[in-house]
Amino acid sequence: MSENQKKTIFSGVQPSGKLTLGNYLGAIRNFPILQQSYHCIYCVVDMHAITVRQEAAALRRATLEVLAQYIACGLDPEKSILFIQSHVPAHAELAWVLNCFTMFGEASRMTQFKDKSAKHADNINVGLFTYPVLMAADILLYQADLVPVGVDQSQHIEICRDIAGRFNGLYPGTFVMPEGYYPKAGEGAKINSLADPRMKMSKSDPNPGGCILLMDKPEDIMRKFKRAVTDSEASIVMDPVGKPGVSNLIQIYALATGKTIAEVENEFAGKGYGEFKPAVGEAVVELLRPIRERTEQLLASKDYLEQVYTQGAQKAAYLARKTLDKVYRKVGFVAR
């Protein structure tokens, strides 16, 4: 495929804490696969992260850690544009314009807003409310065709498409209409908490036992899997409704080993949780070991990371500016 025919991919991850196995299996794992055949742009969305209170030093550390983990998970800064959202002012600038093309009612319907408002009842700020508009700006600035994310983000992709459609209706030909690119069911679409398998594994989960972090040490990973909540009926079969805990573990084991769900069920037919849980732990330890080691090396090379995010921001800013100029012209702002 020639360079000009390649489609554009955009995605982002918040540096709101330490990355989890859910972030990896649901989203980041797919990022490097796509960089061969698409123009890929991957962002660390620090401006989204401050919709929830963050400690400044921790946010700075987490931002560099997500960038390092992008590279450790296989993204190549020579092939993909890797950058930090707050380094490209066009994100905030386009978000303002799009705020004026987003209806209060449609933003009110976002389940993430409702969930986070309930979780942070003492800080229901306007940024949390307009979070999806900033996310729409991220995507539309780069005229992205595809957005690889976990299924929990599908409502945000839909509102982005609604905003783009409304804007294009008034000002034809402004934005490419993006599409979500989700893992299939059973292929990492939704990894659940080990402590409460009906809930999504989330980096902001207050219960650390439920969450495997990419930087967890092998002994911590083993302990968390051995304590994973399952059920009293010790059979290893996929049944997401009746046996959510075991089904979550089967999915994780299948993804970590490259086996199908049926192969996993066969492998453990007639065996109990005492054998299965440590096997899942070991598979995940091996999956994450190279990522953790590479991340540690990269975090020790601050100059290299700085070079990656500086060059990434330059390339991103050039592309973003082109779209922003077009939008400013269409809405009637006087050219600078």
**Catalytic residue positions, numbered:** 116, 200, 203
| Inter-axis angle of helices 126-141 and 90-99, nearest 10 | 110
With contact defined as beta carbons under 8 Å apart, do 143 and 173 qualify? Answer: no
With contact defined as beta carbons under 8 Å apart, do 73 and 31 qualify? Answer: yes
Q: For the CB of residue 147, give the shortest distance to ligand ATP in the complex, in Å.
A: 9
| C-alpha 52: how far from chain center | 16
Cα–Cα distance measured from residue 91 to residue 139, given in angstroms and rounded to the nearest whole number:
9
Cα–Cα distance measured from residue 195 to residue 304, given in angstroms and rounded to the nearest whole number:
38
- Among residues 126, 98, 71, the alpha carbon closest in space to that of 324 is found at 98
**128 touches ligand LTN by CB under 6 A:** no
Cα–Cα distance measured from residue 57 to residue 63, given in angstroms and rounded to the nearest whole number:
10
Give 11's strand partners.
42
**113 touches ligand LTN by CB under 6 A:** no
Which residue among 10, 142, 175, 276 contacts ligand LTN (CB under 6 A)?
10
Site string for ligand LTN, 200-229 (x = CB under 6 A): ------------------------------
Site string for ligand ATP, 159-188 (x = CB under 6 A): -----------------------------x
With contact defined as beta carbons under 8 Å apart, do 112 and 131 qualify? Answer: yes
Measured from the CB atom, the residue of 187 and 325 that comes closer to ligand ATP is: 187
Site string for ligand LTN, 153-192 (x = CB under 6 A): x--x------------------------------------
Give 38's strand partners.
7
Measured from the CB atom, the residue of 216 and 327 that comes closer to ligand ATP is: 216
Which residues within the stretch 34-73 sit at the binding site for ligand LTN (CB under 6 A)? 45, 48
**200 touches ligand ATP by CB under 6 A:** yes
**149 touches ligand LTN by CB under 6 A:** yes
Looking at residue 308, what DSSP letter applies? H
Instruction: List phi, psi (to 5°) of 148.
Output: -75, 115
Binding site for ligand ATP (CB under 6 A): 13-14, 16-17, 20, 22-23, 26-27, 149-150, 152-153, 188, 190-191, 200-204
Binding site for ligand LTN (CB under 6 A): 10-12, 14, 45, 48, 135, 138-139, 147, 149, 153, 156
